[in-house]
Chains A and B, each alone.
Chain A
């Protein structure tokens, strides 16, 4: 009963958010719709019994990536003068009919192929008895320090690389440069 309600709520939030990202012409609005889609995805994780992933989705995406995106929009979206020194518009178009046609056609093709695959999946895997929900925190923690300890440590190196690289790239230019 309630799992159906939760599923329907999160699924509609996700799908509506994702489609609104496509349809809106305003970059700031599309960031907010992305937030809705990611929030709904967190709800979907919850219905799948992945409580830790749902919380991670909230912490990393809602609190982190979306804020980063909003900041990036503010740092680049100045519309004091619409054109830059090269004579091009500073805030580029969010797509026109031609690009949407290309995107729509490729999406249609992929959708047909994938729907064919999903139909196979639905046929081949009849729904069995589902396992009970268990807490995923302890299991994930145990896996992270036993089987996947290398990935755990390497991810910290990856994040170090991302931090240093992005800080070097985004650092404001020195005076006189």
Chain B
């Protein structure tokens, strides 16, 4: 039986995986992967609530904009990573402690 809670559990699993990835990794790109997982968990929740609780399409629109923002975030974030690598030859999160190069 598929209910709302089953979708929420999957969303929770996605969120927790993203959280653990973000906390435990020291690689900036891996941290961005974790952010993608967390954003997906949020979008999945919106769609699940749209289906099971109130049947209007607003949740889909919210998820659509979450996807848009996730893509923009990934583009800018990876741009910063690449720039940082060009300057410091490192993608270690602890090296990114200074605001100036």
Contacts and interface: CB of A to CB of B under 8 A. Distances in A.
**Are A and B direct contacts in the complex by CB distance below 8 Å?**
yes
B88 A140 contact: no
Nearest to B25: A95
Contacts of B89: 84-86, 90
B17 A68 contact: no
Interface string B12-27: 1111111111111111
Chain B interface category by residue count: 35 or more
User: Which secondary structure dominates chain A's binding surface?
Assistant: helix
A158 to B, nearest CB: 6
Contact of A92 (B2, B26, B37): B26
Interface string A96-113: 000110111011001100
Given A15-B10, A125-B52, A69 B23 contact: no
A140 B2 contact: no
Nearest to A165: B76
B20 A22 contact: yes
A9 interface: no
Nearest to B95: A88
A165 B33 CA distance: 21
7 contacts: A53-B43, A61-B36, A69-B74, A92-B26, A103-B22, A166-B75, A170-B79
* The 6 nearest A-B residue pairs measured at CB: A84-B89, A103-B23, A166-B79, A95-B24, A162-B72, A18-B17
